Amino acid sequence: MNNQNLEITSRFEKSWNETEKIFDMLLENGFERLIPLREFISKLKAKGENQHFRIGTSLYRLIFSRSIEHGLRDDQKQLIIDTLDKNDYKIIFRDGYKKYKEYRISDLNEVRLIKLLETLKGSIAD
């Protein structure tokens, strides 16, 4: 792996560590509805997905991207898992302002979500 790829991977992994800390803090403060999402993060990290995505959070949302820098530009792809309630999630896959997919699920292991993560993983890190 060249130095540029090592730097990108390092930034991606750092985003996972920071996001895990945020979710842990939220769970310690009574946000139990986030337990399945925190477990999902751990499962993906154990599979090595922390080397392929940057993740971040905005309130109850978990956001996946291939952004090298913190913060998303308007033209970058992103996958959003919005926690509406425990086991009730809105999934949004967008490229900038354009929404490609939007639906609700109750299980984070649903095939449609996993396929969207694979689609995002196939895009260029930028």
Q: For 66-124, what is each residue's pLDDT tens digit?
A: 998 887 877 899 999 999 998 999 999 998 788 999 999 999 999 999 999 999 999 98
Give the type of residue at 32: E
Q: β-pairing, 77-85 with 54-58?
A: unpaired
By the 8 A CB rule, do 34 and 27 touch? yes
Q: Give this prediction's pTM.
A: 0.92
Domain ranges of the chain: 3-121
Cβ–Cβ under 8 Å, residues 6 and 45: no
Helices (H) and strands (E) in the chain, counts: 3, 5
35 touches 57 (CB < 8 A): no
